[in-house]
Chains A and B, each alone.
Chain A
């Protein structure tokens, strides 16, 4: 456990040194400039827009940290062979992977927390710190944890450049997966339709857990949906990590 934590904390500090803070500053600047420009709008409208833009920004910046910084660190570790230096010590391969995952997840958590604090600070000034938004942020966070697991999974067997591409593709596919259910409904029942059905079961559906518009427009959110989506995405992440450990166990690190 100590070794996993050592790798995790090393990874977290690497992310922090990786100019993640600059991204946060950009986030802050965007949000503040944006809310200033809204001062002419009627009360109520502007709050809704701040919520909407705030959540989108948390999403975009979270993705940027995951895809560029997180995937970038895995990339560098494999490409520059620092992984070999780490694994030349008394470290099991799965410990390395889990340590990396924990460290990247911690970085993403920190980043999400700070952005959420900023957003709430601004909403608080307008007397509109609506706790429902937190549920949407929570789901965005869960999605980033899932994507990080996907990045670790791809890095465990693929080349760095493909891992990065596959991880980005996972995000896109995950948000389009729901369209497979539409497709299935339109197809005549039969082999092809059931193939589409199984394909849908296989690919991650990330849209299901996206609660942003419900949170912004005040549509009631079902606790059940949150619980189910969280369990689904984290369960999927766990599966990917287990598969990653399996694939990485006997891989030649050249």
Chain B
């Protein structure tokens, strides 16, 4: 199979009116996983594909990789029809709950993937060393995967996904099974990839992962795209739940509730209705010295749930 001669033009991934159903048993009605999905990923961005379990995230990813085929609509990967193998030459993939042949060692896993990507033996050795180091598996590189913990398999899978120096990387629930240190390492790796110009698609049902990483998020539910937006805009939309005020000394701040106190330092909470200028004058009136004033916004999780229930009411 020849590789594409020139770099393909077009977005890394484009879905147009994609519908996908699964026939579980011939006597049952097919399950609709995606229902007319339109989606476009821009070159160089980190796109979070968010949605509750069963929203269609994994289905979207498998369609992108040509592992399953749409009933309707078109899927284009790196500018080619997704079923074409050469489209995947510059794509890396970390599956959800990955399973790899477990008698391979981490190093062997990467070597095999490197061969599929056409790397020379010397390149494979070099890449394996580098990537295992990056995911923190150097010490375990020659142990069989069956002796790895879930988080370690996840790390090996990440290294495997990067072996072909992909321009586009697709991660399905990459943070699951990782400890906090692992999550931070993955986040740093993903951010570094973006710096190098790699486009990243990652699916997650945990919004806080997206919050730290994404340029844009696509919110999926029941096979439909509910929203697609810049994360910056999302920040504004997060409702203010209250105000947190840190002060030194002073008396009671009227309507505010005392949250914590350490020596002269006090932390007060105002309700969402309070206005910043009102808060400032209350502080002045109480003879306290302002240290910090912060809005308490709802988490992305809460915003997300609110968006979902709004959409429910609309339909």
By beta carbon, the residue of chain A nearest B160 is A85
B67 within 8 A of A: yes
In the bound complex, do residue A90 and residue B117 qualify as a contact, i.e. CB atoms below 8 Å apart?
yes
Among A10, A84, A95, A253, point to the contact of B112 (Cβ < 8 A): A10
A interface, size bucket:
20 to 34
Chain B 174-204, CB-CB to A under 8 Å as 1, else 0, gives 0000000000000000000000000000000
Chain A 82-101, CB-CB to B under 8 Å as 1, else 0, gives 10111111111001000000
Q: Shortest distance in angstroms between A81's beta carbon and chain B's nearest beta carbon?
A: 6
> B99: which A residues are within 8 A, CB to CB?
80-82, 85
A2 to B113 alpha-carbon distance, docked (Å): 12
By beta carbon, the residue of chain B nearest A18 is B103
B276 within 8 A of A: no
Q: Shortest distance in angstroms between B176's beta carbon and chain A's nearest beta carbon?
A: 16
In the bound complex, do residue A2 and residue B118 qualify as a contact, i.e. CB atoms below 8 Å apart?
yes
By beta carbon, the residue of chain A nearest B161 is A88
> B100: which A residues are within 8 A, CB to CB?
82, 85
B115 within 8 A of A: yes
In the bound complex, do residue B65 and residue A88 qualify as a contact, i.e. CB atoms below 8 Å apart?
yes
Q: Which residues B24-77 have CB closer than 8 A to chain A? A: 62, 65-69
A81 to B98 alpha-carbon distance, docked (Å): 9
> B103: which A residues are within 8 A, CB to CB?
14, 17
In the bound complex, do residue A84 and residue B86 qualify as a contact, i.e. CB atoms below 8 Å apart?
no
By beta carbon, the residue of chain A nearest B144 is A17
Q: A82-B100, A252-B68, A254-B22 are in contact. Are A88 and B93 (CB under 8 A)?
A: yes
A3 within 8 A of B: yes
A186 within 8 A of B: no
In the bound complex, do residue B116 and residue A6 qualify as a contact, i.e. CB atoms below 8 Å apart?
yes
A36 within 8 A of B: no
Among B1, B22, B68, B88, point to the contact of A253 (Cβ < 8 A): B68
B262 within 8 A of A: no
A250 within 8 A of B: yes
In the bound complex, do residue A95 and residue B69 qualify as a contact, i.e. CB atoms below 8 Å apart?
no
> B91: which A residues are within 8 A, CB to CB?
88
B85 within 8 A of A: yes
By beta carbon, the residue of chain A nearest B66 is A87
By beta carbon, the residue of chain B nearest A249 is B83
A222 to B224 alpha-carbon distance, docked (Å): 68
In the bound complex, do residue A90 and residue B89 qualify as a contact, i.e. CB atoms below 8 Å apart?
yes
In the bound complex, do residue B95 and residue A81 qualify as a contact, i.e. CB atoms below 8 Å apart?
yes
Among B101, B112, B116, point to the contact of A90 (Cβ < 8 A): B116
Residues of A within 8 A of B (CB): 2-3, 6-7, 10, 14, 17, 80-82, 84-92, 95, 250, 252-254
User: 10 closest pairs, A vs B, by CB?
Assistant: A6-B115, A90-B89, A88-B93, A252-B68, A89-B116, A92-B85, A253-B67, A88-B65, A90-B88, A80-B99
Apart from A88-B91, A92-B85, what 11 extra A-B contacts exist at CB < 8 Å?
A: A81-B95, A85-B93, A88-B67, A88-B95, A89-B88, A90-B1, A90-B86, A90-B88, A90-B164, A252-B22, A253-B68
